[in-house]
Amino acid sequence: MVSPVAFYYYSDDPAQNLMARPSYAGNQACFSNFLGVFGTGNLTVLTADLSASSVRFLQGLVPASQMVALPSTGSAAAFLQMLTMLDGLAGAALVYFVDGPTMHTPDALTCLSEGSQIADYSTLYDSPAMYTGSGTVSPTGLVGNFYVFHSGETTRVVVTGSAHWKFTHTPTLNIAATVERLLQEGFCLMPGIKQIVCVHTPTFLSSLSQPYTQATFNRMWYLIGKTGTAASCIPAKATPAVTAYLAPLVDWQGVASTT
C-alpha cells in the first residue's frame, strides 16, 4: 500500500461556510476523521482565516513544522502553494490534496493507494454533479458537467482489490497524483525561488469567481489536459462536507460516528 504525502486545506473562511453543512461534519470533526484514517506522518496542513478555536485545536494535533499559513484564502491558492512544496520529493511519490473539510471512510487510505495505480489522477469522491448534464440544475441545485448524457458519463469501470473505479472527465480538487504528474502539467518550479510558473495559472485562478461545481470542474480540466486519466471511486470513500455535494449511496453520518 502506498502512503501519500497529504496536504489538507483547513480554513475558517466565512465564504467557505456559507454553504449548508451537515451538523456532524464541521471543520474539526472532519479533520479528526482524516487523522484517524491517514495519521500525521506525511501531512502538511495549509491554513487560512483560522479562528482562535481552530488554532488551539490544530496545535493540539499537528506539530507547528507541519502547518503552513497561506497569504491568501481559497482552495486554488492552497493548491498552488502545495505545488511550490513538491521540490525534493521523488517523482514517483504520491501526493493527496484534500480541499477543505472532507469525510473519509475507514478504508480510504487503502482505496486511494489502489486508485493511484490505475489512473494519473484518482479521487475518493464520487460527485453527484457527475450525473447532472451541462446547463441543468438538479433538485440539489448542482450545476452539471458537459460530459454527462442520459444521467451519466461515457466511461469504463474497473475493479481493484477494494473498490470499483469509474473513469471520469474531471474530478474535483480532492485528488491524488504523483509529483511527476503534477509537475508535468505545464507547472514548473523556478530553481531556488519556490515560485510556480504555469501557462494555466490565470485560468486556474479565474475559476475562483465561478459557481462551486463549475469552478472545480474547470480547475481539474486544465490540470488533466488532453492526455491524462482520472478515476473516481464508486461508491465514494470520501466526500466534501457540503450538504448539496455529499457523495451518494454512503451513510456519511454513520461514517462520522465510527471514525
CATH number for 94: 3.90.550
Number of domains in the chain: 1
Q: Which three cell numbers stand for residue 241?
A: 462536507
Q: Which domain holds residue 206?
A: 5-258
Contact 173, 79 (CB under 8 A): yes
Contact 127, 172 (CB under 8 A): yes
**How many percent of the chain have pLDDT more than 70?**
76
Q: Is the pLDDT of residue 250 over 80?
A: yes
Read off the pLDDT of residues 127-138 as tens digits, 9 standing for 90 and up. 887 787 655 554
Rounded alpha-carbon distances, angstroms, from residue 144 to 130, 198, 204 = 7, 27, 19
DSSP letter (8 states) at residue 133: B
pLDDT band at 107 (very low <50, low <70, confident <90, very high): very high
Q: Is the pLDDT of residue 213 over 90?
A: no
DSSP letter (8 states) at residue 146: T
Query: pTM of this prediction?
Result: 0.86
Predicted confidence at residue 11, as pLDDT, reads 94
Read off the pLDDT of residues 139-161 as tens digits, 9 standing for 90 and up. 445 455 667 777 777 789 999 99
Q: Is the pLDDT of residue 202 over 80?
A: no
Amino acid at 151: S
Rounded alpha-carbon distances, angstroms, from residue 120 to 135, 158, 185, 219 = 28, 14, 11, 16
Read off the pLDDT of residues 170-184 as tens digits, 9 standing for 90 and up. 677 899 999 988 877
Q: Is the pLDDT of residue 72 over 90?
A: no
Range in 69-73, 75-79, 209-213 the model is least confident about = 209-213
Separation CA 115–CA 110 (nearest Å): 9
